[in-house]
Structure 1
Amino acid sequence: MFTWGWLRRTAVLWDGRVRFARPKRRPPATVKANARKRRRLAQRNAQVLREGEQRLAVRAAAAAAAAKQGE
């Protein structure tokens, strides 16, 4: 592969010039694993919040029904 410093040859243009580009930075496996853990934790927290909101809504509906019955 033809390189020029840290640039990599990516394409030859129609007029014969060569286009160079920076290599794409690939994060290490540990960074990817940590990102996956953070994403899973955020999803779990969101699920817990949704379940809590549902329980609160059910309690509020039950309280409203009880108050209406007591009138």
Structure 2
Amino acid sequence: MALNKSALKSEIVSIMTDMLTRETNSVDEFATRLSNAIDTYVKGADIIYTAGLIDAEARPVTGTFEGDLE
């Protein structure tokens, strides 16, 4: 899945709107929620490998990254 900037923006707006309606501030809660939104956004990235490595027969290696970002 490609990065979804509009979904990240919507999540940030939602977090900000919720935090602004509260009577008491929680910087820690805001930071946690924002960092979770950014973490979700970054982990939604597709990594397409196109060049740089070669196989045992000197042919270029290409393909789609299969794994997790941690």
TM over 0.5: no
Which protein is bigger by CA-based radius of gyration?
A: 1
Structure with the higher fraction of residues in strand conformation: 1
Tell me which interval the TM-score lies in, with the shorter structure as reference length. 0.3 to 0.5
TM-score (norm 2): 0.32
